[in-house]
Every structure is written in C-alpha cells, then in structure tokens.
Amino acid sequence: MRRDGFSPLWEKQSRLQTALWCVACALCALLAATVTVNAVFSVCVISGNSMEPTLHDEQRVFLYDSFTPECGDIVVFDCGLGTLIKRVVATEGQTVELRRSGGTLSLFVDGEYVDEPYIYEPMRDYGAADGVLVYPDTEKTVPDGCVFVLGDNRNNSEDSRFEDVGFVPVGNIIGEYAAPVPGGLLGFLCGLIFGGL
C-alpha cells in the first residue's frame, strides 16, 4: 500500500482473488462433505412413541445405510404397516420366547434371559389375541435372512410379536440408527447437508 492510502489495482485484485478462492474452497469442501456423508448416512424422522424412552416422536436421527444387523441394533425397515423403527432382539437361527412372570413377559433368546434396561416399562402379557405371531411361553425360531424386532415401549409397539410385522427380512432394512441429529447451528448445517431434513 502506498503512503497516500491508496492501494495499487493489483493489490485489490489479489485480495478479491484470495477471497473468491477461499469461498470456492469452502463450497467445494461442503460439497465433498455432503456427497461423502450422504453416501454413508441418511436421516429419518421418528413417528410415534414405540421406541420411548430411547427415541422420541418427531426426533430426527442419522442412519447408517450399510451394515449387518446384530442383536441390540435399532433399525428402520419397511413392512406391511409402512416404515418402522425397532430394536433387533434376535437374528436368523436364534430362538425367541416371551415367558410369563407375574403378569408380565420377559424376553429369552436361545433359552437365555435378556436383560433390557432400555425398555420403557415391563411388557404386559397380551395373551392370545388375533394377529399374534409369537404367543407367550412359545418358542419361535427366526428364519434365515430375517431378524426379530421389538419396540422399547413394548406395551405401545407393533413389532415382530404380531403378524402385521412378523419376522423382518434383512433386505427390508433401510438403515441402522447411528445418532440423533443435533439442534442449533450444527442441526442447521446438517439440514443443509441432508437437504432440509
């Protein structure tokens, strides 16, 4: 810069070029992040309270798009009732039983009691109602290529216990729950990356 306070034209162009270069780099980085993240993750909005207390109605969550389901995973899948989100409690070849115990039901997989600290409340005995696939005190084996899923809010969940959902083919699984979408500025940026959420 000259002493009289004026900058030569080439200095002004250089600053402008530097600013444009920085903006272009930032846009390229955002585009690369968007493509990369969208190749690995997708976003879904929870509808209903069948996964309380773990997930909540209208909560936005990230899903892994590619994975092999295991017991304990929370998955989003398509079935006759639409698109649902539930927890995998048994995979192909495993046996599932809901044993009666004082008016409630406990989950047993392969004959072993499963401790489930994440459920909303003890599962009530629903008996032998119409549309039931897994009756209390009856053992069922999960077919090849399928999983058995239950909502964490067992008393308010349509899940594999009932014929409308049944055993879920692995090919019907859309993704696995990864994390909640954050709020605030980070949530806003996620909205830009994922197309508005």
Q: Which residues are catalytic?
A: 50, 86
- Are residues 37 and 193 in contact, defined by beta-carbon separation less than 8 angstroms? yes
- Are residues 39 and 64 in contact, defined by beta-carbon separation less than 8 angstroms? no
- Are residues 60 and 44 in contact, defined by beta-carbon separation less than 8 angstroms? yes
- Beta strands 146-150 and 41-45, pairing class: unpaired
- What's the rounded Cα separation, in Å, for the pair 54 and 153? 9
Which helix (H) or strand (E) segment holds residue 78: the answer is strand 74-79
- What's the rounded Cα separation, in Å, for the pair 49 and 177? 16
Say which DSSP state 162 is in.
Answer: B
